[in-house]
Amino acid sequence: MEPPAAKRRCTAVSSAPATRDGSLRHGQKCRVESLLDLSAKRVAESWAFEQVEERFSRIPEPVQKRIVFWSFPRSEREICMYSSLSCQGPEVDREGGIPFQKGGKLLETPGAVSRVLQVGFHLSGTVREPASQGEPERVFRVSISFDRCKITSVTCSCGNRDIFYCGHVVALSLHRIRWAGQVELRLPISETLSQMNRDQLQKFVQYLISEHHTQVLPTAQRLADDILQLGSEINRLNGAPDPTAGAGIQDENCWHLDEEQVLQQVKQLLSNGGYYGAGKQLQSMFNKVREMLRMRDSNGARMLTLMTEQFMEDPRLALWRQQGTGMTDKCRQLWDELGALWVCVVLNPHAKPEERASWLQLLTKWNRLDVCPLEEGNYISETPGSSEPSLRHSQASGGAVRQTVFGRAIRCWDLHWRDPHLQRILRGDTCTPGSQGALLKRDHAEKTLTFDPQGRPVWLGEQLPTACARVDALRSHGYSKEALRLAGAVVHTLRLQRRHQLETFKQQKKELLQKGVTSISNPEGWVGHPLDPIGCLVRTFLEACRSEEDGPLPYSELGCELKKPVYSHTPLPSSPPGSGESYFMLALEVALCGLGQQRAMPEGLYAQDKVVRAEEQLISLLADIPLEDRLGQLLRRQTQLLLEGGPFSGLGELVHRESVPMHTFARFLFSSLLPIDPELAYKVSLRAMRLPVLESQFQHADLLPLNPLDLVVTNRFPRWFILGHLETRQCELASTMLTAAKGDPKWLRTVLGSIQQNIHSPALLFKLAQDACKAATPPSSAPDLTLLNVALELGLQVMRMTLNTLNWRRREMVRWLVSCTTEIGMGALISVMQGWYALFTPVEATSLVALTATSHATVLRLGLDYAQREELGGCARTLALQCAMKDPQNCALPALTLCEKDHGAFEAAYQIVLDSTATGMGHAHLFTIARYMEHRGLPLRAYKLAKLALSHLSISYNQDTHPAVNDVLWACSLSHSLGKNELAALVPLVIKSVQCAPVLSDILRRWSLPPLPGRRNSGKGLLSSGSDGSKTPLCQMLEAAIGAYVNTTHSRLTHISPRHYGEFIEFLGKARDTFLMAPDGHIQFGQFIENLKQTYKGKKKLMLLVRERFG
């Protein structure tokens, strides 16, 4: 911690003798304080002791003691404020507790705080930390200087380096507050010294040096030398410094705050980025600033200034600006809080002009820096397609200057609190209803409304966000009553404006409905606004309704976890008797008004995300409010107003295409209104289901020229970065309504129609269908068929929407639809299969739908008899034949499988396969079907299909790994088993389709093997000529294989490289094996090798290898 500040010089000498000890003993109670104590308290709070000495030449010692006694801080809450990051939540550090809690625990240990002595405005003592977990007992020396009920400096031998006081300072301070009468009290040391003569002073100095000679002797000698020199500086000054005499008149009176540690800690947290909870700790520091402001502590603005300076020095700012990228969301939120805090500081009602001027100078300096972040958090435009960075100007806002995070605080510098009507509001003045003289005042020759017809004050001088910034400033600086009064005036103003807007809308309603257009009446939305006006008003009203005591909490409760707040109705002072109006009702009303406001979707990803977060936070705040009768009636009235509202309502009959959707808000209204007024709950939720920005028809003429905001939002789509999130919220609203409407066919059909009209995402529709099906089929009761049919209709819509698009969840959707249809019954299954062409692809219909519908599990699930099974099977077979005709290549085999038990259908499917060969069915599918036919015991049909497949096949000389090789071998084996005629017919097709020598030789070797049992033919005689001199089929195959080897050999030798020589020799070895299968094969092979030697004699190394292997 920083060393104590320099102490003032003391020259006054008091000659009054000590008469008595004016301190109160511990446990002594005094019902009525003495006049001396009352006066000493006021003097100790407001006057520097030097000022008291200058004002009175002689001050009795008892008076001095009482002033010194009352100059120490009296509130434990203030000690807590400077020894913990936050007193509103659990703050646990690595040592197991916040310093305030640690100091309180030390104080509870007997003898932990000892040798406590107060000398003037200086308190000292020792604090013992008991031994724990192998650590010995430790003793720390603590010194505290204070002045005017504020601690001005602290030192502790523990060497604590932190923003806040250590636990040892806390323990000594709490000891002084709780047991002040037990603390030995002495006047400032200069007063004691003034009562000594020369001998006593000399003895005092010598004894002091003797006890601490190793520490103070050099300093003592230096001071003695200076004093003995007549012309030295120390002799030119009157008096001498006294560290126990308190601060001087000119010294700043503020609590001790270690500026260096503030800067270092903020720098360290910023360098950590999003790691190690840095964002939460910085937010806790912002909360500490607000706590200081609320206590009207000047260190609040001081600490905020230090934090801002370190924020501006963050090296990431320059990096983000150089790279043209946006800062992280966590960092943006911290900058938002920083800007909002400066607005509170600038609007400080008790700030001095020189303070406001210094703040403006700082804000202007920061605002001019290039790295200063913009209010929306980015250095570049986030509109898609924008390549040029926009640092200070936004093209989408008509060239308007985009302000930085400090822009609003700078503009607030022009605001003041001197307006007479504003002062009347803050004082709580009201007006008698019907008094015309009080309703209007003349200001610059203009009439301005100051009270509503009920005599309650209104504040029309500013926009709502600015007025709410005033409320927040009052609340933040401890003016709770004044903030409450101004917040009430803002709500009364809001009511008047809404009433006027509603009357205007009713006059123009017919014309607007005919044109189908509307405008957005508010230039900027209140929810998600940088100043959070609605949240400010709601929190202000709810604070007035808290049931807890307003006094400071004892230290034992300050670190506990937050409890759910308990609210009660606090009546408005200005409300008419018997009206029942309370701050609780105002909180709900203003929240509903703000959430229901029609507002344009802001630009940029961060601004849009902020709108969503602010809305969710406000709704979560409302969720803590129990809706009893009065609040329930208010909720109904406000909801009805929003439904009837014009341009100010997002739930009105007409909304602008670019307005923020109301799905999350409507879901809250639906859940809250359903037990009270189901009709209104469904009405408001169905109205909110719309998402105009996704409508296909865009009316370019739907902007009123009177509103400049509407002129800039014409061509900004697509710029809704959070559109996916909004669609999800829309889906959640629909799901909530579907679940609630279970058992009510009327509302189910109505909600279904709204879903089909407004939700455009297949994935979300599918989720809705799943949710409805799950809700309709509880495990412990009978299914709800109406809700099941709704789920089915949604599923069918999803099928139609995704039929011609790529969707990776399509198979899952089809399976679910069949399952849902099965839950409904056989009729639904037949209906779906009959209309398959509008829902499924042929492959899906045959492989998923028909097979599942006719499975044994489905039959058992539905409990079908024989006739029903036949009917269902007939429908499936019809579907299969239709699919096979539409897509024979992929559906023929499933169709054959489905039609196995019906001869006529099976023949029809087989004919479809035969017919499809002319239209391009591939060899792979034909071979697959042929193998299926063989498996079914139809070898002749398999043989026929194999021939058709071979006619579509082509295997070149180098495709010995072709995927159809096994199919060719199988076809040859099949024809071999059928007989010579079938083999003779197949061989020419094989020779034509296969030019690969290894494949042909493999076929020859298979045919040359001994016959398998049951085969009607063997390879004997197949390689010899027939009796009529014609060649047998295998002779033709052998000639084709030899020719293929010859051609392949020449082809490979054309571009052969030395590394392939060994592979080529192995290839010739396989060729020799094939040659030798002919009667004169060895002669043919020898001639072939000699031909190679002559033709490729230039490849000497290769030919040498050929000679070594083949001679």
Mean pLDDT by 10 residues, the chain (1111 residues): 46 37 44 81 80 78 85 87 63 57 86 88 89 83 88 86 84 90 85 84 86 82 84 79 76 80 89 75 90 89 94 90 82 92 94 92 93 74 38 38 87 91 88 50 50 84 92 93 94 90 82 72 84 94 74 36 72 75 92 94 88 94 87 94 87 88 96 95 96 64 36 48 93 96 94 94 95 92 92 96 89 95 94 95 94 92 92 95 93 93 93 86 90 92 91 84 88 88 88 85 74 42 45 79 86 84 85 84 84 82 82 69
d(CA 117, CA 49): 19
218 near 65, Cβ under 8 Å? no
613 near 515, Cβ under 8 Å? no
d(CA 550, CA 484): 15
Angle at 442 between CA 437 and CA 448, to 5 degrees: 85
DSSP class of 845? I
Q: Helix crossing, 866-886 with 826-834: angle to 10°?
A: 20
Q: How many beta carbons lie within 10 A of that of residue 318, not counting itself? A: 13
d(CA 182, CA 178): 9
Q: What are phi and psi of 649, to 5 degrees?
A: -110, 135
Round to the nearest angstrom and report the end-to-end CA distance of the chain.
Answer: 100
pLDDT of residue 1028: 43
Q: Return the CA Rg of the chain.
A: 46
652 near 646, Cβ under 8 Å? yes
By CB atoms closer than 10 A (0-12, 13-18, 19+), residue 725 is: middle
Structure tokens at 25: 């003993």
The 3-class SS string of 55-90 reads HCCCCCHHHHHHHHHHCCCCCHHHHHHCCCCCCCCC
pLDDT of residue 255: 83
pLDDT of residue 872: 94
Long-range pairs for 191-200 at CB < 8 Å and ≥24 separation?
A: 191/13, 191/14, 191/61, 191/64, 191/120, 194/13, 194/14
d(CA 958, CA 1050): 12
Structure tokens at 1043: 């020719």
d(CA 262, CA 301): 13
d(CA 734, CA 728): 10
Torsion of the alpha carbons at 390, 396, 397 and 400, rounded to the nearest 10: 30
Q: How many beta carbons lie within 10 A of that of residue 310, not counting itself? A: 18
Torsion of the alpha carbons at 18, 19, 25 and 29, rounded to the nearest 10: -140
- H-state helical runs in 454-567: 464-476, 480-515, 533-544, 555-558
pLDDT of residue 553: 35
d(CA 909, CA 901): 12
d(CA 518, CA 503): 15
By CB atoms closer than 10 A (0-12, 13-18, 19+), residue 285 is: buried
pLDDT of residue 97: 64
pLDDT of residue 713: 36
Helix (H) or strand (E) holding 736: helix 723-740
Structure tokens at 638: 């406000």
240-241 and 9-10 strand pairing = antiparallel
The 3-class SS string of 956-1002 reads CCCCCCCCCHHHHHHHHHHHHHHCHHHHHHHHHHHHHHECCHHHHHH
Angle at 599 between CA 614 and CA 325, to 5 degrees: 60
d(CA 405, CA 367): 8
Q: What are phi and psi of 728, to 5 degrees?
A: -65, -40
Per-residue buried b or exposed e for 1013-1038, using 16+ beta carbons within 10 Å of the residue's own CB? eeeebebeebbeeeeeeeebbbbbbb
849 near 840, Cβ under 8 Å? yes
The 3-class SS string of 361-405 reads HHHHHHHHCCCCCECCCCCCCCCCCCCCCCCCECHHHCCCECCEC
806 SS3 class: coil
582 SS3 class: strand
pLDDT of residue 1013: 45
Structure tokens at 441: 């005042």
Beta-strand runs (E) in 213-331: 240-241
- H-state helical runs in 810-936: 810-824, 826-834, 842-844, 851-853, 856-862, 866-886, 888-898, 903-916, 923-935
pTM equals: 0.79
d(CA 911, CA 892): 10
Q: Which amino acid is at 744?
A: D
Structure tokens at 433: 């209803």
Torsion of the alpha carbons at 894, 900, 903 and 909, rounded to the nearest 10: 10
Distance of CA 143 to the CA centre of its chain: 47
Distance of CA 180 to the CA centre of its chain: 51
By CB atoms closer than 10 A (0-12, 13-18, 19+), residue 522 is: middle
Nearest to 814 by CA among 790, 796, 826: 796
